[in-house]
């Protein structure tokens, strides 16, 4: 019976090709646009580290000016980065299960051979727990542990390893950066958490840093942050050491907890209490920790624009469905005589209804397929427009099945009323000329 | 064909027309609001920057290695750049306007920490800075060459008493006074004197509401990582960029030329999101309008086919061709007007929703009548062809037996 | 009233040329009730279309109510149809979405009459055909015979010079047909010229005169029935 339904459906679609093309196009365009914006939104809103997002927390301490809050519009907020001295101290105290104090910098890599020119590469300067905290996958070697905190070691990304060492196992090899010799401790596999949750302030969707070096080298190499920094205090800063001791906030700090949030917060409060006695932290106690999803929310990582687009594109889908219903209704009027003939020949209302739904589902399926094609164009277009790294948003199985299902289900819903109307045609009386 | 009978006829088989009215309404709501967003973004992108964006090149360099003489390197680089034919002016800068990277500070008219400071983008240039960007000084004076000193990372900063500010910043600091010659105070309560006022200039962050607040200090940052602003003769920019990159690279092997980019490219990147949004919405608007127009054409054409006998009968009873066209157009107008009324309501609802849920600026209500009239015109255009076909149904159709 | 001389009408398609009417001439005087008969393919429908100014023709002349209407523009033909001719179609041709009042109103709307005048005429016309009480009903709620009577009311409302009927009882059963024919005879008795196309000889007999078409021409047989009737009447 279904194959008969199918055959009839295709015949009916052929009979009025312009109508059919228009209906399929309406559904395809609606699916194309809404699936594109939906994928981008989910990519931005997705949990980049689902297996651990509840256990990783960003730390904020309110070391800001006693006169006014860090964020005038949201006075309950503390600065979202720590001062160097606070980060260094908290890392030493090591109260949580693991912690990462880090910032972004850049170093000049001197060429391995003389032919190549030296070039600059970005680095994440971090304490050793980073790799285990964030489940960073290694292909060769390993990171460094606390004990090796200030030794000149480097972990390369796969791409940088390709460029410098042709992709081979370079663990133990030496590299000169900023006139210092570094030893390769490990090479990590392609790791692109989207969004870049551990440093959303400096662009949640920027490319990953090219290498990692120990936090302890900051002093020795006088490493400057290439990220953002904020300061409230007028301080005389004429040396790098003075910079490290200043009240400027420029270090990102993450902690992994397997137990009590409150216990850790109490630890932070105790530390800040200590610092207050030394004359710092003149604002009221305002220390907070945020898990990964909370942190991304805090920074509104999902661009407002993509939320607007999502809303508008679903309205667009509504219009497409309205078009479909309208076109189906007009088509139904043309079918009156055929339907009444079939009814006269014994088809029940249910059979007619089922036939209509099958036809609508076929149109929906066709619209969904073409809609998928349009979605892939749409995603490529988005990538071009926003110059995002390729593969950031791709057409995966989830999106594909979602597109087809939405297409078929929504067109079936759109077809319910017209199908019901078709069934109301009485048998054979419409055959008379009128 | 009177209005009365047409209304009763429409009301008797109302589902089709109602759906089309609904579609017109939702389309209107989406299109008006989207168009507003698009035009807002376009306006934002096309704002006057106060700089000669088309003819400025930015070179990012970085020295490395033991004993790298920063000051000497900078001097040599500036001389080299100035010697290239086509280069008008060169200056070192700490940050590049329009690039998304910048430095911010707050200034106060009085040395009182408790009052709020006026936020501004802060730049440090030589006396050639204004020329290197093509920024116009409207009042006062530029820096003297003698006021420009190298600022080293270690050691105390040289005095930077004179500053230039934009008119926007001046208005915020001294709303009732002339700012020229006045003293202002940094966060550290150190004073500087406003020696010159720039009519208009944009800072680094294009999405910031204080984009036009800029303060410029005299000096040359002698850091290993450096940025040069290079202004060239009109039309020569593209050919000079690779020349500059090559010459800088070759002149000093202890120094990496990280990149040489045009200011235009940097600005485009800053506006990428806005441009992307405008383009995407433009596509959505076009598709939506096209779809609605096609549905109107499709529905009207179908009505022509469906009502062929009726049209023939009317012609037989004395309707002229234009009476038939009038009938179809009038019917279309009723549907469109109903859609427009509902659409106007929906537009307000959607505008309110966009404003409250997404903090978008409030819709300019002038868009509403413009949108309605355009939609109405489009709808009429869509129905003209089917209406003409209806009019050409021959009266003899009435006597045909089906 | 109606005078056709040597009318020729040819339909041309890519492949075939059909001579629907060849040198057809006939006259209908004012106040006559004429039946036009003929087998299928004889050109009855074509004659009707031309008589009703629904179609144009290649050769000949056509005088209607004293005016030469052979070469009128499309707009002028519409005006003539509206004012001079009342149509009655085989399948009634009522507009389903309009009620009876609105249906009778249709031709009046093309004439720019005032609302009161239109109302008066519509009510009178529906009164004449006996359906005034159902003015606001839709055609679908009426029987075939009633629908045809509404169509007649529509034709009468314009106060035409001539009624043109195309198989007026073709879609009706015998009792309804009888009612409709009686109505037409009443209208004729009031002085209205009626030209009726039919294939039913019994119906044709009820007319004053019978014109028989064969192969697009008026046939000699035409006169026979009429003479027979006059003879019969003479000896009644």
Contact A326 B295 (CB under 8 A): yes
Q: Label residue A149 by pLDDT band (50, 70, 90).
A: low
pLDDT tens, B29-66?
999 999 999 999 999 999 999 999 999 999 999 988 77
Measured distance CA(A356)–CA(A413) in Å, rounded: 12
- Is the separation of the CB atoms in A367 and A28 below 8 Å? yes
Task: At B58, give phi and psi (nearest 5°).
Answer: -115, 130
pLDDT at B260 over 80: yes
The whole-number pLDDT of residue A330 equals 80
User: Alpha carbon of C198 to those of A1, C91, C168: distances in Å?
Assistant: 49, 14, 8
Residue A270 vs residue A43, higher pLDDT: A270
Name the pairing type of β-strands C33-37 and C17-28: unpaired
- Beta-strand runs (E) in A111-146: 119-126, 138-141
pLDDT tens, A71-82?
888 889 999 999
Contact C96 A433 (CB under 8 A): no
Q: How far is B397 from chain C, CA to nearest CA, in Å?
A: 9
Give me the interface pTM, i.e. the ipTM.
Answer: 0.87
As a whole number, the mean pLDDT across chain C is 85
Contacts of B320 in chain C (CB under 8 A): 74-75, 78-79, 110
Contacts of B282 in chain A (CB under 8 A): none
Contact B291 A323 (CB under 8 A): yes
Contact B299 A322 (CB under 8 A): no
Q: Please name the helix (run of DSSP H) or strand (run of DSSP E) that holds residue C54, with its range, or none.
A: none
Selecting from B157, B359, B401 the residue whose C-beta is nearest the C-beta of A433 gives B401
The whole-number pLDDT of residue C9 equals 84
Domain boundaries, position C120: 2-234
Q: What is the DSSP string of B175-234?
A: TTS--TT-EEE-TT--EEEEEEEES----S-TT-TTTT-EEEEE-EE--SEEEEEEEE-T
Nearest chain B residue to C110 by CA: give it.
B319
Helix axes B3-12, B321-358, angle to 10 degrees: 60
- Is the separation of the CB atoms in A361 and A8 below 8 Å? no
Contacts of C77 in chain B (CB under 8 A): 395
Q: How far is A321 from chain C, CA to nearest CA, in Å?
A: 27
Contacts of A386 in chain B (CB under 8 A): 272-273, 276
The whole-number pLDDT of residue A204 equals 59
* Residue B153: both structure tokens together: 């990372």
Q: How far is B139 from chain A, CA to nearest CA, in Å?
A: 30
Q: What is the DSSP string of B312-380?
A: HHHHHTT--HHHHHHHHHHHHHHHHHHHHHHHHHHHHHHHHHHHHHH-PPPP-TTHHHHHHHHHHHHHH
pLDDT tens, C126-185?
998 889 898 899 998 998 889 999 999 999 998 898 999 998 888 888 888 888 888 888
As a whole number, the mean pLDDT across chain A is 86
Contacts of C91 in chain A (CB under 8 A): 433-434
Measured distance CA(A181)–CA(A408) in Å, rounded: 62
Nearest chain C residue to A429 by CA: give it.
C140
Contacts of B392 in chain C (CB under 8 A): none
Contacts of A433 in chain C (CB under 8 A): 91, 171
| Nearest one of C151, C160, C149 to C52, comparing CA atoms | C160
Q: How far is C141 from chain A, CA to nearest CA, in Å?
A: 14
- Is the separation of the CB atoms in A153 and A185 below 8 Å? yes
Contacts of C171 in chain A (CB under 8 A): 433
Q: Label residue C227 by pLDDT band (50, 70, 90).
A: low
Contact C55 B396 (CB under 8 A): yes
Contact A234 B354 (CB under 8 A): no
Measured distance CA(C193)–CA(C195) in Å, rounded: 7
Residue with tokens 């807002």: B40
The whole-number pLDDT of residue B241 equals 94
Contact B298 A22 (CB under 8 A): yes
Task: At C190, give phi and psi (nearest 5°).
Answer: -80, 0
- Is the separation of the CB atoms in B263 and B53 below 8 Å? yes
Terminal Cα-to-Cα distance of chain B (whole angstroms): 25
Q: How far is B284 from chain A, CA to nearest CA, in Å?
A: 8
Measured distance CA(C12)–CA(B242) in Å, rounded: 75
Mutate to test the interface with B, among A241, A385, A419, A430 (most CBs of B within 10 A): A385
Contact B323 C110 (CB under 8 A): yes
* Residue B229: both structure tokens together: 């602003």
Contact B398 C93 (CB under 8 A): yes
Q: Label residue C224 by pLDDT band (50, 70, 90).
A: very low
Three-class SS state of B145: helix
Q: How far is B64 from chain A, CA to nearest CA, in Å?
A: 6
The Cα angle at residue C23 between residues C19 and C26, in degrees rounded to 5 = 120
The whole-number pLDDT of residue C191 equals 86
- Is the separation of the CB atoms in A418 and A328 below 8 Å? yes
Three-class SS state of C64: strand
Touching chains, A (3+ CB pairs < 8 A): B, C
Three-class SS state of A278: coil
Helix axes C100-109, B3-12, angle to 10 degrees: 140
Could you say which DSSP state residue C4 is in? E
The whole-number pLDDT of residue A203 equals 61
Assess C141–A contact: CB distance below 8 Å, yes or no. Answer: no
The whole-number pLDDT of residue B49 equals 94
User: Alpha carbon of B99 to those of A83, A163, A250, B118, B270: distances in Å?
Assistant: 26, 28, 21, 22, 6
Nearest chain C residue to A430 by CA: give it.
C140
Q: What is the largest CA-CA distance in chain B?
A: 105
Nearest chain A residue to B66 by CA: give it.
A179
Assess A278–B contact: CB distance below 8 Å, yes or no. Answer: no
Q: How far is A318 from chain C, CA to nearest CA, in Å?
A: 30
Task: At C198, give phi and psi (nearest 5°).
Answer: -155, 160
The Cα angle at residue A238 between residues A236 and A242, in degrees rounded to 5 = 75
Measured distance CA(B178)–CA(B194) in Å, rounded: 10
Contact B399 C49 (CB under 8 A): yes
Q: Please name the helix (run of DSSP H) or strand (run of DSSP E) that holds residue A106, with its range, or none.
A: strand A98-110
pLDDT tens, B1-21?
577 778 877 777 777 888 899
Residue with tokens 């409150």: A262
Within its chain, how far is the Cα of A340 from the centroid?
Answer: 54
Q: What is the CATH number of the domain that holds C148?
A: 3.40.50.300
The Cα angle at residue A237 between residues A233 and A238, in degrees rounded to 5 = 170
The whole-number pLDDT of residue A434 equals 40
Assess A29–B contact: CB distance below 8 Å, yes or no. Answer: yes
pLDDT tens, C114-123?
889 999 999 9
User: Alpha carbon of A13 to those of A246, A417, C199: distances in Å?
Assistant: 74, 18, 42
Contacts of B261 in chain A (CB under 8 A): none
Measured distance CA(B123)–CA(B93) in Å, rounded: 7
Contact C89 B319 (CB under 8 A): no
The whole-number pLDDT of residue B127 equals 93
pLDDT tens, C69-125?
888 899 999 999 999 999 999 888 999 889 999 999 999 999 888 889 999 999 999
Three-class SS state of A420: helix
- Is the separation of the CB atoms in A275 and A281 below 8 Å? yes
Region of A300 on the Ramachandran plot (φ > 0 left; ψ -120 to 50 alpha; else beta):
left
Contact A316 B284 (CB under 8 A): yes
Q: Label residue C213 by pLDDT band (50, 70, 90).
A: confident
Assess B28–A contact: CB distance below 8 Å, yes or no. Answer: no
The Cα angle at residue C161 between residues C155 and C163, in degrees rounded to 5 = 45
Selecting from B20, B225, B249 the residue whose C-beta is nearest the C-beta of A326 gives B20
pLDDT tens, C24-75?
888 888 888 999 888 877 788 888 889 999 988 888 889 888 888 888 899 9
Worst-scoring range by mean pLDDT, A223-237, A387-401, C74-88? A387-401
- Is the separation of the CB atoms in B131 and B88 below 8 Å? yes
Assess B37–A contact: CB distance below 8 Å, yes or no. Answer: yes
Mutate to test the interface with B, among A110, A308, A329 (most CBs of B within 10 A): A308
User: Alpha carbon of A234 to those of A231, A282, B103: distances in Å?
Assistant: 8, 15, 15
Contacts of C96 in chain A (CB under 8 A): 434
| Nearest one of A399, A138, A127 to A251, comparing CA atoms | A127
Measured distance CA(B277)–CA(B283) in Å, rounded: 10
**β-bridge mates for residue C8, sequence order:** C59
- As a whole number of Å, the CA-based R_g of chain B is 32
Selecting from B314, B320, B399 the residue whose C-beta is nearest the C-beta of C166 gives B399
Measured distance CA(A311)–CA(C123) in Å, rounded: 56
Burial of A402 from C-beta contacts in 10 A (0-12 / 13-18 / 19+): buried
Share of chain A above pLDDT 90, in %: 37
Mean pLDDT, range A300-305, rounded to an integer: 79
User: Alpha carbon of C5 to those of A383, B314, C51, C63, C70: distances in Å?
Assistant: 78, 28, 12, 9, 10
Q: Label residue A433 by pLDDT band (50, 70, 90).
A: very low
- Using the CB atoms, write b or e for B140-163: b if 16+ within 10 Å: bebbeeebbeebebeeebeebebb
Domain residue ranges of chain A, discontinuous segments joined by +? 2-48+303-431, 62-286
Selecting from B13, B314, B399 the residue whose C-beta is nearest the C-beta of C48 gives B399
pLDDT tens, A160-173?
998 888 888 999 99
Give chain C's domain count: 1
pLDDT at A273 over 90: yes
Q: What is the DSSP string of A50-95?
A: TTTTTTEEEEE-----SSS-S-TTSTTPPPSSEEHHHHHHHHHH--
B387 preceded by a cis bond (ω within 30 of 0): no
């Amino acid at each position: 019976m279904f194959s008969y339904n199918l055959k009839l459906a295709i015949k009916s679609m052929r009979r009025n090709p312009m109508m059919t093309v228009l209906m399929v196009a309406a559904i395809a365009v609606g699916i194309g646009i809404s699936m594109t914006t939906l994928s981008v939104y989910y990519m931005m809103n997705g949990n980049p580290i689902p297996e651990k997002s509840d256990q990783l927390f960003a730390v904020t301490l309110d070391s800001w000016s006693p006169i006014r809050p860090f964020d005038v519009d949201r006075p309950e907020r503390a600065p979202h980065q720590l001062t160097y001295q606070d980060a260094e101290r908290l890392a030493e105290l090591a109260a949580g299960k693991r912690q990462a104090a880090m910032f972004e910098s850049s170093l000049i890599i001197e060429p391995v051979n003389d032919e190549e020119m030296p070039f600059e590469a970005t680095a994440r300067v971090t304490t050793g727990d980073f790799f285990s905290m964030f489940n960073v996958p290694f292909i060769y070697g390993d990171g460094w542990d606390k004990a090796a905190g200030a030794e000149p070691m480097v972990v390369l990304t796969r791409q940088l390893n390709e460029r410098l060492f042709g992709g081979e196992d370079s663990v133990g090899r030496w590299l000169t950066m900023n006139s210092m010799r570094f030893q390769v401790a490990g090479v990590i596999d392609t790791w692109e958490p989207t969004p870049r949750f551990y440093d959303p302030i400096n662009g949640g969707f920027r490319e990953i840093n090219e290498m990692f070096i120990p936090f302890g080298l900051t002093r020795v190499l006088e490493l400057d942050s290439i990220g953002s920094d904020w300061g409230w205090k007028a301080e005389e800063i004429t040396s790098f050491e003075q910079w490290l001791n200043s009240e400027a906030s420029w270090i990102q700090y993450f902690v992994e907890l397997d137990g009590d949030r409150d216990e850790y917060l109490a630890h932070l409060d105790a530390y800040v209490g200590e610092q207050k006695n030394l004359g710092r932290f003149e604002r009221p106690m305002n220390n907070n920790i945020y898990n990964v999803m909370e942190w991304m929310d805090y920074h509104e990582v999902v661009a407002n624009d993509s939320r607007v687009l999502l809303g508008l594109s679903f309205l667009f889908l509504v219009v497409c469905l309205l078009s479909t219903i309208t076109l189906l209704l007009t088509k139904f009027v043309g079918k009156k005589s055929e339907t009444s003939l079939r009814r006269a020949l014994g088809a029940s209302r249910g059979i007619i209804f089922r036939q209509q739904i099958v036809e609508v589902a076929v149109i929906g399926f066709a619209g969904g397929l073409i809609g998928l094609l349009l979605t892939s164009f749409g995603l490529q277009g988005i990538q071009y427009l926003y110059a995002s790294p390729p593969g950031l948003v791709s057409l995966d199985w989830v999106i594909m099945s979602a597109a087809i299902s939405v297409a078929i289900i929504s067109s079936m819903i759109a077809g319910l009323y017209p199908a019901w109307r078709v069934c109301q045609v009485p048998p054979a009386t419409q055959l008379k000329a009128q | 064909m009177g209005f009365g009978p047409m209304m009763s006829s429409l009301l008797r088989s109302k589902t089709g027309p109602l759906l089309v009215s609904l579609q017109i309404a939702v389309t209107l709501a989406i299109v008006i609001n989207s168009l507003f967003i698009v035009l807002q973004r376009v306006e934002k992108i096309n704002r006057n920057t106060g700089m000669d964006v088309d003819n400025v090149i930015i070179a990012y360099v970085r020295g490395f290695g033991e004993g790298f003489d920063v000051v000497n390197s900078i001097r040599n680089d500036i001389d080299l750049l100035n010697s290239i034919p086509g280069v008008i002016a060169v200056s070192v800068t700490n940050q590049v306007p329009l690039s998304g990277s910048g430095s911010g500070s707050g200034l106060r008219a009085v040395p009182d920490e408790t009052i709020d400071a006026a936020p501004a983008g802060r730049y440090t240039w030589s006396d050639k800075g204004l020329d290197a960007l093509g920024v116009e000084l409207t009042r006062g004076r530029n820096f003297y060459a003698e006021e420009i000193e190298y600022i080293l990372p270690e050691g105390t900063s040289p005095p930077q008493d004179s500053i230039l500010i934009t008119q926007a910043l001046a208005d915020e600091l001294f709303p009732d006074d002339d700012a020229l010659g006045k003293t202002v105070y940094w966060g550290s309560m150190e004073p500087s004197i406003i020696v010159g006022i720039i009519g208009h200039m944009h800072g680094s962050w294009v999405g910031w509401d204080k984009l036009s607040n800029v303060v410029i200090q005299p000096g040359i940052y002698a850091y290993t990582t450096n940025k040069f602003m290079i202004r060239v003769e009109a039309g020569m920019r593209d050919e000079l960029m690779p020349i500059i990159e090559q010459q800088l690279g070759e002149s000093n092997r202890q120094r990496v030329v990280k990149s040489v980019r045009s200011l235009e490219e940097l600005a485009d990147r800053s506006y990428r999101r806005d441009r992307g949004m405008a383009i995407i919405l433009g596509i959505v608007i076009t598709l939506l309008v096209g779809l609605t127009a096609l549905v109107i054409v499709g529905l009207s054409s179908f009505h022509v086919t469906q009502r062929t006998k009726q049209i023939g009968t009317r012609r037989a009873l004395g309707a002229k061709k234009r009476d038939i066209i009038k009938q179809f157009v009038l019917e279309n107008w009723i549907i469109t007007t109903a859609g427009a009324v509902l659409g106007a309501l929906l537009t307000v609802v959607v505008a309110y929703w966009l404003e409250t849920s997404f903090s978008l600026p409030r819709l300019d209500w002038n868009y509403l009548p413009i949108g309605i009239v355009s939609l109405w015109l489009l709808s009429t255009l869509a129905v003209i062809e089917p209406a003409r076909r209806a009019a050409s149904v021959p009266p003899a159709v009435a006597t045909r037996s089906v | 009233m109606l005078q056709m001389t040597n009318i020729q009408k040819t339909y041309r398609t890519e492949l075939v040329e059909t001579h629907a009417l060849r040198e057809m001439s006939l006259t209908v005087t004012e106040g006559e009730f004429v039946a036009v008969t003929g087998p299928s393919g004889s050109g009855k429908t074509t004659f009707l279309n031309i008589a009703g100014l629904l179609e144009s023709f290649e050769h000949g002349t056509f005088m209607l109510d004293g005016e030469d209407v052979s070469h009128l523009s499309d707009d002028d033909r519409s005006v003539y149809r509206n004012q001079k001719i009342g149509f009655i179609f085989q399948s009634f041709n009522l507009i389903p979405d309009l009620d009876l009042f609105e249906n009778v109103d249709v031709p009046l709307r093309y004439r720019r009459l005032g609302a009161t005048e239109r109302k008066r005429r519509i009510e009178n016309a529906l009164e004449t055909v006996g359906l005034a009480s159902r003015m606001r009903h839709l055609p679908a709620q009426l029987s075939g015979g009633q629908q045809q009577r509404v169509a007649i009311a529509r034709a009468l409302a314009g106060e035409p010079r001539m009624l043109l009927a195309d198989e007026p009882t073709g879609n009706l059963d015998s009792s309804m047909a009888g009612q409709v024919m009686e109505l037409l005879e009443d209208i004729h008795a009031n002085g209205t010229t009626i030209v009726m196309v039919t294939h039913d000889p019994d119906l044709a007999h009820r007319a004053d005169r019978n014109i028989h078409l064969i192969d697009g021409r008026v046939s000699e047989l035409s006169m026979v029935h009429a003479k027979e009737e006059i003879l019969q009447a003479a000896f009644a």
